Chain A
Amino acid sequence: MSAAEELLAASSLEVVRDGPRLILRFIGDWTTGELAKHDPALRSLDSQGAQQAVLDLTHCGTVDSAGAWVLDRTAGDLKERGLVVEVAGAAPAVETLMGTVAARRVKCPPAPKADNPLVAVAVRLGRETLRISREAADLLSFLGLTVTVMARTLARPWRIRLTPLISQMEQTGFNALPIVGLISFLVGVVLAYQGADQLAQFGAQIFTVNLVAVGILREMGILLTSIIVAGRSGSAFTAQIGTMKVNEEIDAMRTLGLDPMEVLVMPRVIALVLVLPLLTFYADIMGLLGGAVMATIVLDITFFQFARQLADAVTVETLAVGIIKAPFFAFIIGMIGCYEGLQVTRSAESVGQQTTRAVVEAIFLVIVLDALLSIFFSVIGF
């Protein structure tokens, strides 16, 4: 009994030449895990000039469909080489399984070949160019739509949905306070430290205050806040609206006579336009605070001296130059977030794609607009 068990423990293949007959003895379990060691041997089987072949399955244990396929393929191969093939001693179940597998011998077509890499690059370049120009056009018409709906809403302010507006202001503004504050503070610290290092070479450490003040108030405050808000809220808009799109909620809204532009887009865009200037002001203060703290520690400039130098360095206009950009940036971030959300198709995958796209586009456009405004302000001497 133990010998038989040992026999069944693993599979083996015996090839015996018996006169004109070639005997293939399949011993043990012919299951998926066992096949790797026999497959090459069976593929390159030497028929040794025999006219008949016998597949002896008497000592065969368990056979699964992969095993049955290999048995059946071997029989087929031998037949093709002109041998008379006989399968002996197969259990009925094995025979049925071989029959089932043989009946399913349909070859799948080979995988389609990839294009020539050069062609692929050209194709992709063209496709992306088309996509970007189409998207730019779509975005432009969405801009028009948003402005129209906004004008209509502002003309009848009692139609503004107050609850979602306040809730959006909380989510995009109030909840962003910690992260915006922390980052601005740290950037203030960095600016002061680097500035002090360089300006010390001229003995002009005190101008570190000017550097920090102008840098934070004109550019860094608004730019950092916009980028954080684009990452936080722009992406959230796309994900929220996109998920609603996947669930067909947007379609349901339309059938109930609600305009998604009014119900979803307006509260978000208006909330962001209202909140971003406030956030920017807060970021400015935190940035100056960071600079002041650093100046006290490294430069021995007291808070009082810092404040006096600050009053000399900047005017209210400097602060205004930064904050005046905020509503425009907010409008861009909110609009792109909502637009990309509405572009989501009915798959969960596209929510992720559009969210990425929304953040990248929003940050890109914010920086482009910032550059344009900088030129504009310097031309008008502001």
Chain B
Amino acid sequence: MTDATGMPPPDNGGQTNGQGAGNPGTNGAGDAGRAEVPPILTITGLRTQFGTSVIHDNLDFSVQPGEVMGVVGGSGTGKSVLIRTIIGLNKPTAGRIAVFGRDLASLSAAETTAMQSRWGVLFQDGALFSSLTVAQNIEVPMKEHSDLPPELRQELIDVKVSMVGLPPDAAHKYPAELSGGMRKRAGLARALALDADILFLDEPTAGLDPIGAANFDILIGDLQRALGLTVVMVTHDLDSLYAICDRVSVLVDKRVKVGTIEELMHEPDPWIQEYFGGPRGRAAAGSAERSGTAPQSAG
């Protein structure tokens, strides 16, 4: 397991981006430099099928290093399935998925494990292990995929716990004793335990009250900037889209349409028009404008 985290990245798009080091331009989502940098995640010709129902058909999708990509779509269009397929919980019927420039299907078991330690996943309700405390939950990936000494692990747990904005005394609580928002924060801390390069979030703000949801948006934005993360998030929350997403992909007709929100507004597709042009979309756009789009203020 020595190569689990220290995996030398041979043809790795993340090399230049890394963990934020050597890439001071991460902040501005790299509007100018986007075209030159190879994507961190590429999907080509993806087809997902359950029985006879086809969820994705010939879907192409790519994410640039350091960007925040929102994934939206109507119920049942396969947003969560897309994420689950990328992280390998779902086997695609056809198509190629490459992360850090490497085809996932061609990886050996050891390489897959190494790959898994380079991405973090936050499931809908945190998916914390209920028999472990928050601190132990965060420790699981550290114990499993690194050889950090216990003392250092403890210090890093402290750092992660406070990084996601949990109070220190939450570290020794069990998931059942936490509120929904705190569970999500703890899940985020676990996802970040090994300094993932890519963070996948499945409806991070669902089930949170508007204030909690806004705070969570700010937290994700802050961490993304501080750690130079690439974030792919499935969301229904229009406010989140406006607040932190650089680009948005919309799942329509079993494929994705990708662009900034302004670009997508010009799409003729009726669902997209309805989504961004509907009363909620307009309200979110209005409030984003009033607050200056991105929540830069919180530290």
Contacts and interface: CB of A to CB of B under 8 A. Distances in A.
Nearest to A102: B159
Given A109-B171, A111-B135, A65 B227 contact: yes
Contact of A108 (B20, B26, B161): B161
28 contacts: A9-B8, A29-B6, A31-B19, A32-B146, A33-B2, A33-B4, A33-B7, A33-B146, A33-B147, A35-B146, A35-B152, A64-B227, A65-B19, A65-B192, A67-B19, A92-B24, A94-B20, A96-B20, A97-B227, A100-B163, A100-B227, A103-B299, A104-B162, A105-B159, A107-B168, A108-B157, A108-B171, A109-B169
Contacts of A111: 133, 135, 172
Contacts of B135: 108, 111
A119 interface: no
Interface string A62-103: 111111011001000000000000000001111011001101
Among all A-B residue pairs, the 4 with the closest Cβ atoms: A33-B6, A33-B5, A64-B195, A62-B18
A105 B155 CA distance: 9
Given A35-B148, A62-B22, A111-B172, 19 more contacts: A10-B6, A32-B5, A32-B142, A32-B148, A33-B4, A34-B6, A39-B148, A39-B149, A63-B20, A65-B226, A65-B227, A91-B24, A97-B20, A101-B159, A105-B158, A106-B161, A108-B158, A109-B172, A111-B135
A104 B163 contact: yes
Contacts, number: 124
B172 A39 contact: no
Given A31-B6, A34-B6, A36-B148, A66 B195 contact: yes
Interface of B: 2, 4-8, 18-24, 26, 130, 133, 135, 142, 146-149, 151-152, 155-159, 161-163, 168-169, 171-172, 176, 192, 194-195, 226-228, 299
Q: Which range holds the interface residue count of chain A?
A: 35 or more
Contacts of A32: 5, 142, 146, 148, 194-195
A36 B147 contact: yes
Contacts of A69: 155-156, 159
Contacts of A35: 146, 148, 152
A106 B168 contact: yes
A349 B21 CA distance: 43
A96 B142 CA distance: 24
A36 B146 contact: yes
A247 interface: no
Contacts of A91: 21-22, 24
A347 interface: yes
B57 to A, nearest CB: 34
Contact of A40 (B149, B162, B171): B149
Interface in A281-321: none
Contacts of A107: 158, 168
Contacts of A341: none
Contacts of B19: 31, 62-65, 67, 97
A109 B161 CA distance: 12
A203 interface: no
A93 B22 contact: yes
A344 B194 CA distance: 37
A112 interface: yes
Interface string A104-137: 1111110110000000000000000000000000
B152 A31 contact: no
B271 to A, nearest CB: 31
Nearest to B135: A108
Contacts of A112: 172
A93 B156 contact: no
